[in-house]
């Protein structure tokens, strides 16, 4: 694996921005930057052996400084929206930054996507490191986060997330890459998508989960059998109208575990490129870039994550139409120290009554790119 490191520019405050290019023996490569611990590009061959970038993004650091769409960024402290920009832990209510009407989205203005991360080289990749101080953005707890990107000779990218906090808090990290496997950036309506999931989280018109599961059978949200994204993208459906397409969390599992599941398989019949996404996280949010200006529907995000927050925080779905306490989703696995636990929870709820600080969590996502040389011309 060849690693090239380039000084890419400066933030308005004078911090250095670096670009990292990882290239394997076949010539496939990915690019990363320490601005937002972002995934900048992925140059993958098509069925004719032509390498093209299959991520949306910018050609220079200035584009990422000005970006408002979270292009390839690491999203935190909490991915997606939190209703009314507040939550409570025990008897304390925390007010967050509002950046989406009355709600907060993707960590607010203090989100991880705009931070300059420390970095270091690791085997076949780059590790990014960030300290988020207590009450940054309104979130309690000093949080230390590490993210490792590792690229293989078989065109497999693994993103591993690690975090630890000294106070009960919420933490839900994801990567916000926009995929377009065509390489020439035609609309993703002809991309074929399979998500092996039968239920999604129902949302309000403000994209806040209601706490109810919705069965996808006989609905535009059914991707259990692979079909084109555009097949039902413009159907006369209330939730599709609200979201300008798909912007929904698919439920991969309801119990926490380390089991790696297939979250999605995305393919382009013209280029022959195929992407398989696997994760140990309990949900994957499908977003078809309906709000991406000036060209919506040109990229698709597959954001593996814990469930987005429901409007009352006191519940998340355990079964169709059901509402349960988040504590039912907590699963603790003791690791090296009696005072340290690993949290693999679908809601990332930490309570001081249950856990002794420091508290940590880890999660994992794997993107695999392959070529179908018999794909349609």
What one-character-per-residue DSSP string does 130-147 give? EEE-TTGGG--S-EEEEE
Has residue 172 got a pLDDT over 60? yes
> What number is the average pLDDT over the span 1-26?
97
What pLDDT, on the 0 to 100 scale, is given for residue 204? Answer: 83
Structure tokens at 174: 């994801």
Write out pLDDT tens, residues 174-195: 999 999 999 977 899 999 999 9
- Of residues 24 and 293, the one with the higher pLDDT is 24
DSSP 196: -
DSSP 71: T
By the 8 A CB rule, do 263 and 253 touch?
no
| Cis before 77 (ω within 30) | yes
Percent of the chain residues past pLDDT 70, beyond the cut: 83
Comparing CA positions, the residue from 226, 249, 256, 220 lying closest to residue 328 is: 256
What pLDDT, on the 0 to 100 scale, is given for residue 361? Answer: 54
Write out pLDDT tens, residues 284-315: 999 999 999 888 999 999 999 888 775 444 33
Lowest-confidence pick of 73-77, 88-92, 240-244, 361-365: 361-365
**Distance, CA of 130 to CA of 116 (rounded, Å):** 8
By residue count, the chain amounts to 377
Comparing CA positions, the residue from 321, 320, 328 lying closest to residue 349 is: 328
Dihedral in degrees, nearest 10, Cα atoms 89, 90, 93, 96: -10
By the 8 A CB rule, do 67 and 11 touch?
no
Q: How confident is the model at residue 71 (pLDDT cuts 50, 70, 90)?
A: very high
| Cis before 8 (ω within 30) | no
What pLDDT, on the 0 to 100 scale, is given for residue 374? Answer: 55
What pLDDT, on the 0 to 100 scale, is given for residue 22? Answer: 98
Cα torsion 93, 97, 99, 102: sign: positive
By the 8 A CB rule, do 96 and 137 touch?
yes
Q: Where are the alpha helices (DSSP H) in the chain?
A: 61-66, 238-243
230 CB-contact burial (10 Å; exposed 0-12 / middle 13-18 / buried 19+): middle
Q: Cα-flanking dihedrals φ and ψ of residue 26, to 5°?
A: -80, -10
Dihedral in degrees, nearest 10, Cα atoms 206, 67, 275, 229: 40
Has residue 355 got a pLDDT over 50? no
What pLDDT, on the 0 to 100 scale, is given for residue 362? Answer: 65
Comparing CA positions, the residue from 52, 54, 32 lying closest to residue 158 is: 32
Q: Hey, is 23 helix, strand or coil?
A: strand
Q: Where are the alpha helices (DSSP H) in 19-101?
A: 61-66
What pLDDT, on the 0 to 100 scale, is given for residue 370? Answer: 77
Pairing of the two strands 359-371 and 341-343? parallel
Q: Which domains, from first to last, does the chain contain?
A: 2-371 (2.70.98.10)
> What number is the average pLDDT over the span 367-374?
69
By the 8 A CB rule, do 373 and 286 touch?
no
**Distance, CA of 368 to CA of 294 (rounded, Å):** 29
């Amino acid at each position: 694996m060849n690693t090239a490191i380039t000084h890419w520019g400066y933030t308005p405050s004078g911090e250095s921005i670096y670009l990292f290019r990882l290239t394997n023996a076949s010539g496939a490569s990915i690019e990363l930057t320490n601005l937002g611990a972002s995934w900048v590009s992925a140059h993958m061959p098509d069925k004719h052996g032509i390498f093209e970038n299959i991520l949306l993004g910018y050609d220079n650091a200035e584009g990422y400084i000005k970006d408002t769409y979270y292009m390839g960024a690491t999203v935190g402290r909490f991915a997606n929206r939190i209703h009314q920009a507040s939550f409570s832990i025990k008897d304390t209510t925390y007010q967050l930054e509002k950046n989406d009407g009355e709600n907060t989205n993707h960590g607010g203005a203090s989100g991880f996507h705009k931070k300059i991360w420390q970095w270091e080289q690791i085997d076949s990749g780059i590790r990014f490191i960030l300290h988020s101080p207590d009450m940054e953005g309104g979130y309690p707890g000093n949080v230390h986060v590490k993210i490792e990107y590792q690229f293989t000779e078989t065109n497999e990218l693994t993103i591993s997330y690690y975090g630890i906090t000294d106070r009960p808090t919420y933490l839900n990290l994801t990567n916000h890459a926009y995929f377009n496997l065509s390489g020439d950036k035609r609309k993703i309506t002809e991309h074929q998508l399979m998500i092996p999931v039968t239920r999604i989280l129902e949302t309000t018109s403000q994209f806040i989960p209601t706490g109810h599961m919705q069965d996808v059978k006989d609905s535009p949200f059914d991707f259990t059998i692979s079909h084109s994204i555009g097949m039902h993208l413009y159907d006369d459906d209330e939730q599709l109208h609200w979201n300008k397409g798909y912007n929904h969390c698919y439920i991969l599992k309801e119990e926490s575990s380390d089991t790696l599941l297939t979250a999605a398989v995305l393919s382009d019949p013209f280029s022959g490129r195929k992407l398989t996404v696997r994760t140990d996280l309990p949900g994957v949010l499908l977003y078809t870039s309906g709000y991406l200006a000036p060209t919506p529907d040109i990229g698709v995000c597959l954001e593996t994550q814990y469930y987005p927050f429901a409007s009352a925080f006191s519940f998340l779905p355990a079964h169709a139409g059901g509402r349960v306490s988040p504590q039912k989703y907590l699963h603790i696995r003791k690791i090296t120290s009696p005072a340290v636990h690993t949290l693999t929870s679908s809601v990332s709820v930490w309570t001081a009554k249950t856990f002794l600080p420091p508290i940590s969590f880890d999660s994992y996502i794997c993107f695999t790119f392959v070529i179908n040389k018999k794909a349609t011309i």
